[in-house]
Amino acid sequence: MASYSPGFVSLLTSQNGEFSTQEESNQTELRTVLEMEDKLNKQKLLEKLLEKSGPLSEMEMSLKLKLISEMLG
């Protein structure tokens, strides 16, 4: 197994620390984008259910009520 100088090991450690912070930031940003996308998809689905002419099936009505409940609460 190779032996590395203490300076090299410390350089890798500091770079990994910075990378880890950047990675956490990217993950947080990605999570935020995915949550916004999910919310937008639910809004579009609710719009389609509200625009639908004719009576809704029991499943559609249940979904509509669930989506409204999520958006209000």
Summarize pLDDT for 58-73 with one digit per residue, the tens: 999 999 999 999 999 8
- Which residues are CB-contacts of 52 (< 8 A; sequence separation ≥ 6)? 60
At residue 55, the pLDDT reads: 95
Give me 45's structure tokens. Answer: 């689905």
**Contact assessment for residue 68 and residue 46, using Cβ atoms and an 8 Å cutoff:** yes
Does pTM top 0.75 for this prediction?
no
Give the pLDDT band (50/70/90) at residue 12. Answer: low
Q: Is the confidence at residue 19, as pLDDT, over 60?
A: no
What mean pLDDT is predicted for residues 42-50? 97
